[in-house]
Amino acid sequence: MSRRRVAILISGGGSNMLALLRAMADPAHPAAPCLVLSNRPGARGLSLAAEMAVPTACVDHTAFRGDRTAFEAAIAEPLRRAGAEILCLAGFMRVLTPGFTAEWRGRMLNIHPSILPLFPGLHTHARALEAGMAVHGCTVHEVTGELDSGPILGQAVLAIRPGDTPETLAARLLPLEHRLYPAVLHRFATGDRERIALFE
């Protein structure tokens, strides 16, 4: 069986990117990385990917002066050349237009640091604490035109401890993110969309 070709979109350091690349380094994995693309020149994740012999590309969003459609047309070209079949967003801090998400519908994944549908958007750890939540977590979902609202493919949950801060919560959640995202991608690459659940 041929391996599905995966492109990973990042903006910065890409710890979730590394988790995905390390999982796909197994030749038995149903997917293989074909490109890591960043919207920020000098993003640390680009050099890390290159060290792992994964092709990289950069399309600087600042060159497009707020024209998201033109920016997306520019990133579509290296994705096409790489033969990408699945896109994984891993800390890609750009809002994608409905036109782009529709083109990749059913083939684009993202990880979000909350138990969706709770706390879409930013500052999720602080918002969970402010809401008095007993648990927190992360979600891998398909990307659609509505922010953080696509079909859920996996979730991981951990208990909030007395004295947790947004920083400690984020640090404790990260290892779960690094387990959940590769597990979902592995299943997704085989065509299986059954949800995965992980617990600390």
The domains located in the chain, with CATH, are 1-104 (3.40.50.170), 110-200 (3.40.50.170)
Q: Do the beta carbons of residue 72 and residue 98 sit within 8 Å?
A: no
pLDDT at 200: 86
Span 40-58, mean pLDDT? 97
Which residues are known to be catalytic? 112
pLDDT at 1: 65
pLDDT at 191: 96
pLDDT tens digits, residue range 135-180? 999 999 999 999 899 999 999 999 999 999 999 999 999 999 999 9
Span 19-43, mean pLDDT? 97
Confidence of residue 99 (pLDDT cuts 50, 70, 90): very high
pTM score, two decimals? 0.96
